Structure 1
Amino acid sequence: QLDMARAASRVPGAGVAKAPRVALAGYSEGGHSTLWAAQLAHGYAPELDIRAAVAGAAPVDLKATATNLNGGLYAGFLADSVVGLSTAYPSMPFRSLLNPAGLRATDDVRTQCLAGTLATWAFRRIEAYSTDHLTLEQIYAIKGPDGTWGQVIDAQKVGVGVGRPGSGARYEIGFPVLDYWGSIDDVIPPASQAAGAKRLCDAGIAVRRKEFALGVHATTIVAASSDVRGWLGARLNGIPDAGNC
């Protein structure tokens, strides 16, 4: 997202100011990338005038999300995540752990769109695809050049090593964040989302937390759309928000 914001002001004829006000926003895996963009912005793109970030239904704790997805209707999202992590960390053990079904399945994931992956993986468990029928916990214990798989996955957690500008924290966030989720999200555990928002709050970040009653993963983005537009508009117009931590 940070590179896209940089590029937008450099595209001839795009009508974007050279130094525009920027807002970060995303939902689900996009919410996760939004929060990471917020954490990285101060060090990676300090020239951007970021006014706010909005993250909805973000998988801020991948271990909690994996446990929820494994064997469920949306197990395809777990398959996507596993393949994505193996691509991001090519030195870590992966294909050597897979049985023939696992090799075929992960190759398929790389070429399928969302609907195909969800249909193929519905109610399947990750244990069926490794040579030793490894559980998630056993996979987390496997070591490689980048540490254990558990350490690699924990490194993706949002809200760790975060602080306000000038705090000396590894990641500094100096703009307000709207973090929202559905109370009965069936993909990303609501408790993990609330815990992620609390970590940001505890770090002193101005977080506006909102849980939408009876919201599942597919509906909360719609239920929140009006609130998101209004909140972002206010931030881009210079109206502060101290959050509701």
Structure 2
Amino acid sequence: MKKKILATVGVVLGLSFLIAINTPASTKANSNLLLASVDWVQSQLNPLTTRVSTLEKQIKEQDALIKQLQKAVEEGGTVITPPTTTPTPPDNSTDLPSVVYTNANNVKVHSGATRNYKVLATFTANKALNVIDKHGSGTNLWYRVEVSSTVKGWIHSEDVTTTKPSTATPSSVVAKEALNIRKGATTSYASIELVAKGTSLKYISSFKNAKGETWYNVQSPKGNKGWVLSTLTEVR
């Protein structure tokens, strides 16, 4: 009986020794398995993180567009519905001029590409403006221009020219026939003074009206200021 007890104790001690020897190796294997699992999870999360960042960027862009449209409505302009496809970048081809020049006085730059939008600035003739984009075509063509380093706006193509004007400013306008100096730049305005053929008038500025007529703002020898039709005069 005593021998059996001693034998049993021996077996138990032997098993305990074997477990003590094998425990560190098992723990190391489990650690390696855990690290491998963490790496796999991380590899699955990285693409998801990238997609989330992309979606957040798109949401910010959409939010900025919504705020811009809301501002346009508040300013009384007509909302131009943005295209449903990806916007095309500004056209830098030869049909998009780099610079345009105002061709009359009182040329207005608007906050949007219609005359209903808020007026951002008004320029006299021969003002050079850098072009950064365009909208529409034909008689509905608008250019997006730099009003200043921080302000951009839209100007109608009929109010500008791509031909650089002469730097020389006319000093006088000579009447080619007897003509009326009028209060405004159309024949519907009343006459201020009738001048004879050959009268030299002091040149002040020019203006193109809604009919496409160019009128000169002048001062007569008597000191009267008004407007004369360009086709009836000669600029010197």
Same fold flag (TM > 0.5): no
TM-score of the two chains, using structure 2 as the length reference: 0.20
Structure with more of its chain in helix, by fraction: 1
Q: Which structure has the higher relative contact order (CA within 8 Å, separation 6+)?
A: 1
Structure with more of its chain in strand, by fraction: 2
Rg comparison, structure with higher value: 2
